[in-house]
Structure 1
Amino acid sequence: MEGKIKEWIKSFVRKYSELRSINFWREPVVGFADATSPFERLRKVIDNHLLPEEILEGARSVVVFFIPFTKEVVESNVKGKYASRLWATSYVETNRLISELANYVVGKLEARGYASLALPPTHNFDEVNLISDWSHKHVAYIAGLGTFGFHTMLITEKGCCGRLGSLITRAELKPGEPKKEEFCLHARGLECRMCVKKCAFGALKQNGLDKRKCYEICLENDRFFNDLPLTDVCGKCACGVPCSLRIPDDSR
């Protein structure tokens, strides 16, 4: 079943791109998490994080996927104060893709007798505390898709530039495990923190991320792209850095 799910996801993204004649994405990375004990531990870190069972009674597994952006999309967002138009439109289109993809996989699983439920790709957080009740990043970490960078984004085998989505199912799937090795150069004890230098607004500093300031910048980008749907993005810290498109090696 795991192999089928991976192929459903990869095939859907490929066909979605072809039908719309757009080239925003590389092949997705897919993982699976057990719906029980890892999430009980996660709640100790994020108090209000929902358990899969609270969303779908009888939940057994969580499917999570990372849809990486192409090099062209990433490089378009390296320079300038505001996010590039390509980055902004990719964000909007990827959220649409994730919603359709997750619902497609849910349909395939339910056709095989497994009740399933898709989670929204974004905007499921408390705008006061800026804490989400369902973190795709942490789910992906639990499933072994990657590790956290100093910029707080998840670094996968295809880098950190992309979008995450997930869904819950009663199907019992073989879970992955969190990575034992760090993908972030700084976390490995090496000099880097290029993400700090790339943050044009000072939201990301040597002592960590100011989430409030980061969110304000994202909203400023939304106002800048007022002809697009909600575009609360930035991504400067993730573009033009060693982990943008891959796991950085020690030599960078």
Structure 2
Amino acid sequence: MDMAIGDKIVKFITNSVLQARTVTRYREPLVGFASANDHLFTQIKQVIGPHHLHPREMLPGAKTVVAFFIPFAEDVVKANRRDKEKIAREWAVAYIETNRLISEICQELTGVLREEGIEAVAEKPTHNFNEQDLTAGWSHKSVAFVAGLGTFGLNRMLITASGCAGRLGTLVISAGVPPTPRPTEELCHYHRDGKCLYCVQNCPTGALQVQQLDKQRCYKQLLEVDSLFSDLGLCDVCGKCAMGPCAMNAG
């Protein structure tokens, strides 16, 4: 190979985002790797539930899990900050376009890796959950945490070094790649010093509280938003809890 497989994956994802033919603009993506044998994958099944797949249940020969985060450009974030109640069309479009972009990246990267003799499988970026109890068999956020991309915030989102305003994608591959070190400090302002409650205060439905998240109330809000953007396709999105100081960066 001309370069290490990990470097190839990073370059492929980065170039795909930079060359994306989307209305939505992005900042540079982040890519992380985790060993499929990491003990945290077993813990995820214990914390989330036995329904959550282990990487080896996704791909029997799994050696590495790849996670990547595509952060939205500042204008997308600013658009959704303007009104606490109203979801910006720019944010809705970004959700639709980025989910499509992630699917394309995973599909094309799977083909590239196959040419190298490497098997890969990917879960779709969203709508991979049970609509009744809202459980998912593969949590991109949890997997990305194991792959060193960030820490969980009070908003229940993964906060990366580039913030949480963006979308996550993951793949499981049969090649070994050195794991990415996980952050050694909290990237959520509330978990770090207990002073920031932006996400709780900005939740339009009150579904997000310090101690809990009412998933059903949150999902009801998402479905109501979906009805407002029916021309875009399935667009169950909100993002108001991702508009605080942690939106763009973890500083």
Q: More deviation in 110-119 or 76-85?
A: 76-85
Structure 1 Cα separation of the partners of residues 228 and 179 of structure 2: 41
Superimposed CA distance per residue, residues 67-117 of structure 1 (whole angstroms, 9 cap, x where no aligned partner)? 000110011011332311110011000010000001111111111001111
Point out where structure 2 has 5 or more consecutive residues left out of the alignment: none
The residue type paired with residue 64 of structure 2 is S
Structure 1 residue 162 corresponds to structure 2 residue 170: no
Conserved 8 A contact 2:24-2:94: no
Structure 1 residue 210 corresponds to structure 2 residue 214: yes
The residue type paired with residue 64 of structure 1 is A
Match of 2:25 in 1: 24
Match of 2:150 in 1: 146
Structure 1 Cα separation of the partners of residues 118 and 100 of structure 2: 24
Point out where structure 1 has 5 or more consecutive residues left out of the alignment: none
Match of 2:47 in 1: 45
Superimposed CA distance per residue, residues 46-79 of structure 1 (whole angstroms, 9 cap, x where no aligned partner)? 1111011112121111111000001100110113
Conserved 8 A contact 1:204-1:210: yes
Quote the offset at 1:189 in angstroms. Answer: 2.7
Quote the offset at 1:23 in angstroms. Answer: 4.0
Quote the offset at 1:180 in angstroms. Answer: 2.2
Conserved 8 A contact 1:29-1:145: yes
Structure 1 residue 61 corresponds to structure 2 residue 86: no
Superimposed CA distance per residue, residues 151-195 of structure 1 (whole angstroms, 9 cap, x where no aligned partner)? 001100100000000111101111124322100111113311111
Q: Between Structure 1 and Structure 2, how many residues are aligned?
A: 244
Quote the offset at 1:138 in angstroms. Answer: 0.4
Structure 2 counterparts to residues 1-252 of structure 1, below 5 A: 1-17=5-21, 20=22, 22-36=23-37, 37-47=39-49, 48-80=51-83, 81-239=85-243, 241-248=244-251
Other structure's SS at 2:248 match: coil
Structure 2 Cα separation of the partners of residues 23 and 232 of structure 1: 17
Seq. identity, %? 46
Normalised by the length of structure 2, the TM-score is 0.94
Structure 1 Cα separation of the partners of residues 175 and 113 of structure 2: 8
Structure 1 Cα separation of the partners of residues 158 and 200 of structure 2: 16
The residue type paired with residue 53 of structure 2 is L
Normalised by the length of structure 1, the TM-score is 0.93
Q: More deviation in 135-144 or 46-55?
A: 46-55
List 4+ stretches of structure 1 deviating above 4 A.
none
Structure 1 Cα separation of the partners of residues 210 and 113 of structure 2: 45
